[in-house]
Amino acid sequence: MIVAENLVKKYKEFAAVDGVSFEVAAGESFGLLGPNGAGKSTTMRMVGAVSTRTAGTLSILGMDPDRRGPEIRSRLGVVPQADNLDTELRVRENLLVYGRYFGLPRAQVARRADELLEFAQLTEKAKSKVDALSGGMKRRLTIARALINDPSILLLDEPTTGVDPQARHILWDRLFRLKEQGTTLLLTTHYMDEAEQLCDRLVVVDKGVIMAEGAPAELIRRYSSREVLEVRFGSDLNAEVAGRIAGMGDRIEVLPDRILIYSENGESELVRIIDAGLRPITSLVRRSSLEDVFLRLTGRTLIE
């Protein structure tokens, strides 16, 4: 569905995307995980056929966006990072107007709009003003709008950023349903839990280049240990303690607010720490996540 090879986007001298290659198969859910400014949105815009690439090759549904922009866009659904719903129109009208941009007949758009309002759980809000919707509802409406043309590929740029936790779960549920129905998803996120929930496969992006590629579980296996022990000694003491526990676990990361000890067995590491006479203020043993993969690959946390 999507084939990108050595994709480059430069703004004057600055390369926002610097030689990115990936492929997305039909029905696959593919993620771009990385911090803000990694080049995820730029990549999305190039795939969305609204931003001309500087170099490399790109093929979407077998077409080159430089030549077939409108044709490609007719088969995409796009959920941009910032909602650009039309606040001068009502909820249902937003869907009606948008469907027309694809040249769809009015009757068909009207039917589809009602189905999508149902899907987005917004049927009761059909006549509301867009500004009266909550953040989560707006997001759902944007997703519904992106589906008006029954797209082959759905592009989601940070689908749940700025949405409260409860609304996030509703969104994930809706996206998961789409995935089950076989819609190809390409999404960017800087939330590791979102990537784990929704992506079959993902690339970790930082500073315009791909750091790693694979399924979430596979990446965790490859770049991290099974468990992580997080201990806090207080901001002043963390660095000092780090010296004393060096050598514990497979690897240690010292962050400003806590120390992470990577190990197959977090509990036994905690016992060793306490045996060494150290008393952490808090301790937590958890499974490794994509956050740890990112930290390992870049030396930085995803959300700083």
Q: Which residues bind other proteins (CB under 8 A)?
A: 1, 26, 45, 48, 50-52, 61-63, 68-76, 78, 80, 82, 84-89, 93, 97-98, 100-103, 145, 149, 152
Q: How far is the CB of 71 from other proteins (least distance, A)?
A: 4
Structure tokens at 78: 């796009």
Q: With respect to other proteins, which residue has the nearer C-beta, 31 or 77? A: 77
What's the CA gap between 290 and 202, in Å, rounded? 10
CB atoms within 10 A of CB 21: 14
Residue closer to other proteins by CB (options 89, 242) is 89
Shortest spacing between CB 5 and other proteins, in angstroms = 16
Residue 108 neighbours by CB under 8 Å, 6+ apart: 99
Tokens of 269: 């590491």
Looking at residue 148, the DSSP 8-state letter turns out to be: T
Q: Which is nearer to other proteins, 51 or 289 (CB)?
A: 51
State which residue, 89 or 254, has the beta carbon closest to other proteins: 89
Task: Tokens for 195, please give them.
Answer: 């990537």
Backbone angles phi, psi at 210, to 5 degrees: -85, 130
**Minimum CB–partner distance for residue 50 and other proteins (Å):** 6
Residue number, 208 or 249, with CB nearest to other proteins? 208
Q: What are φ and ψ of residue 261, in 5° steps?
A: -115, 115
Closer to other proteins by CB, 47 or 228: give it: 47
User: Smallest distance, Å, CB 24 to other proteins?
Assistant: 12
Instruction: Tell me whether residue 87 or residue 134 sits nearer to other proteins (CB atom).
Output: 87
Q: Tell me the closest approach of the beta carbon of residue 78 to other proteins, in angstroms.
A: 4
Continuous H helices in the chain: 40-47, 65-73, 91-100, 106-119, 135-146, 165-180, 192-198, 216-223, 238-245, 266-275, 290-298
How far apart are CB 53 and other proteins at their closest, in Å? 11
Cα gap 46→1, rounded to integer Å: 14
* Helix runs in 147-289, H state only: 165-180, 192-198, 216-223, 238-245, 266-275
**Shortest reach from residue 20's CB to other proteins, in Å:** 17
Question: Does residue 252 sit in helix, strand or coil?
Answer: strand
